[in-house]
Amino acid sequence: MLQCRLPPGSCTRQRHIGRSLCGVQRCRTRAPLKIRSEAQAELHSSSDSLDKLANAVSLGAKASKDEWVYTRPKRAPLDNEYILGIALQHKQHLLMAAVTVVLCTASNLAAPVLSGMLFEHLVQQHPMERYAKVFGVLLVGYLLEPLLTRVYMVNVIAAGEKVLATIRMELFRTLLMQKIEFFDRHSATALQSLISTELDTIRTFIFNNCSRDRGLRAFLEAAGAVIVLFCLSWRLAPAVSIVIVVTAVAAALYRRSTRPVEAAQSAALQRMAGVAYQAFQNMRTVRSFAGEALERERFQSEVVASFAAGRQFGAAKATFEATNRLAIHLSLLMLYAWGGYLVSQGVMPVGVLVSGIGFTFSLMYATQGAVNTLSELRRASGAFDRVQRMIQASDPDPSMYGALPPGAWWEVANGAEPVFEPYADKAGEAAVTAARQGDLELVNVSFSYPVRKEMAVLRDINLQLKHGTVTALVGRSGAGKSTVAALLSRFYEPQVGNIRLAGRPTADFSRGEWARAVAMVSQEPVLFSGSIADNIAYGKFGRCCMEEIQAAAEAANAHEFITELPEGYNTLVGDRGTLLSGGQRQRIAIARALLKDSPIIILDEATSALDAVSEKLVQGAIQRLVQGRTVLVIAHRLSTVQSADQIVVMKNGRIAEKGTHNELLANQSHYSELMSSQEMILGASV
């Protein structure tokens, strides 16, 4: 096990460039830095604060009482009751918004009435004292309304942002805890779109509809304007109300005609993003096959689909806008004609007519705003529905209860009360202890991937990996080798049979405990976009110091090339490690496994060609990695197979034969065929 070699209290945190994935900490021989200990504690707290976490990471400061407090949900994510429960956590913001929106609406409705009174005083030549009093009231209203509007918007946006932040956190948290087959069914682009694009649509709706003439204020002002008009003059109100009737009918037709168009446009935009994401992610493949024209053609087809839907949407919106304008103009003409007649006959004061004209414009803007709000509400609700559908189709991994919120959702989904177990850095050592003492076995295992249930990949597999030995898995492509590795990593559960560790089934161990016991080094190591130190320390998030990272790098033959880089361990590796060579990526992945110090290693040997020096360094690192551990290696090199304690030959999802190198050669069977066909690569000895 790698230990920090500095004296107690002398290990210091290294400065990192860019965003840190793990946060290299001080040595555990002294109190860890507040900057990370708080963050780690809050991630697993039932009453976390994301604002506190952000401040802790950047400033190490405490959050004020007004900051957003992140609380785990007590129901299924994103159902209506859940959203209401989150919103009600921010009663202070909601109460302030409710009070100020009423005051703002009252101020706006009073303005036309006061304007009519001013005009009446001028026409009737009343004493200027009365004019001044009305003017003073109007002045106070005009000055207070902007201040009240600001208070209203600040509180609405604050409450909305806090609710969205909680939803975003829970959505990401929930998606992380799905079974691996969930990610087999859904593309990374679609899942990313849920967290970013779909929730941003809801955020845009909140931002756009908290100003005047939009959202709740628009509906209140429209209703209030009609009520006040009827109070001022029941004869005049019908002429103005025509705006509402015509606009409501036009809005209903508009919503009906644009619903399928908007859905088509949203789908096209998502596909467009998927095409772009794949092209950018696989740019080297695109460039090597001169696939730029093909990618442009794919992208163009989605752009055309989006353009066609957008054009139809724009045409419908233009028709609606023209209809709404026509209704407003007709209403004004009727108001002038009918109102003028009533004034000329002495039935209605001229001030009421002036107020009616003012209310007509208020009603015009409020009605347009209400319709726009309904249109954007449909978009926001559509985005919300897509998120809900994805959640309803989700299949959380029952072994990860400890990382998910409690509540009725788990009871309904799994038919029983959840049993909460520690996860990640709070997981126990039960699996590690068992792996250091006993064997790892597959007992009568049969398996098919959930997305292709009709195709059996493994059949009746019985395999024992003895403690402290190396087992080499060989066979042609498609024989089932990688599937065995996936099952031992608990990415999937076998449909038939079971996996045992020291005689105990995997169900006895939580997912977090198993993750501590098993380390996997894949054929194409995946690195995160961060520093080299971040990637090495990934398996011991917040629980290692720089000395341990360097020791792991030295054992993996990576320290020398790292120190030659300008930024050393702070060097950024690029997206998926593209700024490093294949051999460098493999050695960093091995260093990550060494630092994790798991007693079980699953190694998929790289088939990519390395130069002689890199090959020797990688094989030397592998030799240190497997010492004293239970190892399953998907072998591609003859030297690895020859030095293995046990060789397992797979064919068509079954174990064809087992034994040592010499025993299998003597059998003159499947293993001999692999050797004679030269499907094994010569390489340095493990």
* 204 and 301 fall within a common domain: yes
The residue among 359, 392, 425 that closes a domain is 392
Q: Which of 33-47, 292-306, 331-345, 608-622 has the lowest mean pLDDT?
A: 33-47
Distance CA 257, CA 253 (A): 6
Residue with the larger pLDDT of the pair 497 and 243: 497
pLDDT category of residue 39 using cuts at 50, 70 and 90? very low
Percent of the chain with pLDDT over 70: 78
Of 603, 494, 607, 624, whose CA–CA distance to 558 is shortest?
A: 624
pLDDT category of residue 243 using cuts at 50, 70 and 90? low
The residue among 344, 375, 392 that closes a domain is 392
Judged on CB neighbours under 10 Å (0-12, 13-18, 19+), 496 is middle
Q: Is the pLDDT of residue 581 over 80?
A: yes
pLDDT category of residue 399 using cuts at 50, 70 and 90? low
Asked if residue 346 is part of any domain, the answer here is yes
Asked if residue 149 is part of any domain, the answer here is yes
pLDDT category of residue 604 using cuts at 50, 70 and 90? confident
The stretch 589-594 carries a mean pLDDT of 89
Q: Is the pLDDT of residue 615 over 90?
A: no
Neighbours of 503 (CB within 10 A): 11
Is the pTM of the predicted complex or chain greater than 0.75? Answer: no
pLDDT at 19: 34
pLDDT tens track for 55-100? 333 333 334 445 544 444 444 456 677 778 878 888 888 899 999 9
The residue among 392, 420, 448 that closes a domain is 392
The stretch 282-310 carries a mean pLDDT of 80
pLDDT at 608: 52
- For 441, the token pair is 């076995």
AA identity, residue 370: A
Q: 442 - beta bridge partners? A: 463, 499
Asked if residue 437 is part of any domain, the answer here is no
Asked if residue 193 is part of any domain, the answer here is yes
* 217 and 325 fall within a common domain: yes
Distance CA 21, CA 588 (A): 15
The stretch 589-613 carries a mean pLDDT of 78
- For 243, the token pair is 């705006």
* 119 and 255 fall within a common domain: yes
* 479 and 380 fall within a common domain: no
pLDDT category of residue 499 using cuts at 50, 70 and 90? very high
Asked if residue 460 is part of any domain, the answer here is no
Judged on CB neighbours under 10 Å (0-12, 13-18, 19+), 364 is buried
Q: Is the pLDDT of residue 684 over 50?
A: no
Asked if residue 521 is part of any domain, the answer here is yes
Of 151, 159, 139, 160, whose CA–CA distance to 99 is shortest?
A: 151
Task: Answer yes or no: are the C-beta atoms of 543 and 424 closer than 8 Å.
Answer: no
* 474 and 385 fall within a common domain: no
* 198 and 106 fall within a common domain: yes
- For 362, the token pair is 């208020």
Q: How many CA atoms lie within 13 A of 107 on its CB side?
A: 21
Range of the domain at 523: 468-486+510-527+580-676
* 387 and 472 fall within a common domain: no
* 121 and 224 fall within a common domain: yes
* 117 and 203 fall within a common domain: yes
* 362 and 475 fall within a common domain: no
Asked if residue 117 is part of any domain, the answer here is yes
Q: Which of 80-84, 247-251, 485-489, 510-514 has the lowest mean pLDDT?
A: 247-251
What are the backbone angles phi and psi of residue 443, rounded to the nearest 5°? -115, 110
How many structural domains does the chain have?
A: 2
The stretch 370-375 carries a mean pLDDT of 79
- What CATH number is associated with residue 133? 1.20.1560.10
Task: Answer yes or no: are the C-beta atoms of 13 and 547 closer than 8 Å.
Answer: no
- What CATH number is associated with residue 515? 3.40.50.300
pLDDT tens track for 158-169? 888 888 888 887
Q: How many CA atoms lie within 13 A of 95 on its CB side?
A: 5
Judged on CB neighbours under 10 Å (0-12, 13-18, 19+), 401 is buried
Name the most confidently modeled range: 118-122, 223-227, 539-543, 658-662: 658-662
Asked if residue 639 is part of any domain, the answer here is yes
* 115 and 208 fall within a common domain: yes
Q: Is the pLDDT of residue 558 over 80?
A: yes
Residue with the larger pLDDT of the pair 312 and 423: 312
* 387 and 476 fall within a common domain: no
DSSP 376-391: HHHHHHHHHHHHHHHH
pLDDT category of residue 327 using cuts at 50, 70 and 90? confident
pLDDT category of residue 221 using cuts at 50, 70 and 90? confident
The stretch 322-326 carries a mean pLDDT of 76
